[in-house]
């Protein structure tokens, strides 16, 4: 059995094909934040019952995830822009 370490990748992918893969898959990941809220909303009564709190307190957790998604979009957007832009001089 071959052992893998952090330095030896399981799949060897050149950077050009990796970039094409990311460009293909990135638009499909756009639906995940909405899917997260849609899956969380129906389970709120069960969560409230499990933790013995009111449903209104659990609804506040949904409001708390929205600023987290906003900050994530800003941070990752800036990161992707800084890494993805090439100097064409």
Q: What angle do CA 50, 55, 56 make, to 5 degrees?
A: 140
For 41-52, b where at least 16 C-beta lie within 10 A, e where not — what string? eeebeeebeeee
Encoded tokens for 64: 């708390």
Residue 52 has pLDDT above 70, yes or no: yes
Listed by start position, the domains of the chain span 36-80
Query: Does the pLDDT at position 61 exceed 60?
Result: yes
Contact 16, 22 (CB under 8 A): no
As a dihedral over the C-alpha atoms of residue 11, residue 12, residue 16, residue 20, rounded to 10 degrees, the angle is -10
- Using 50, 70 and 90 to split pLDDT, how confident is the model at 49? very high
Identify the band that residue 6 occupies on the pLDDT scale cut at 50, 70 and 90. Answer: low
């Amino acid at each position: 059995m071959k052992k893998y370490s952090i330095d030896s990748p399981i799949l060897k992918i050149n950077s050009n094909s990796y970039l094409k893969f990311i460009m293909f898959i990135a638009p499909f990941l756009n639906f995940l934040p909405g899917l997260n809220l849609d899956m969380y909303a129906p389970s709120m009564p069960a969560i409230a019952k499990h933790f013995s709190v009111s449903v209104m307190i659990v609804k506040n957790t949904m409001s708390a995830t929205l600023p987290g998604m906003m900050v994530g979009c800003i941070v990752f957007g800036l990161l992707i822009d800084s890494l993805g832009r090439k100097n064409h001089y």
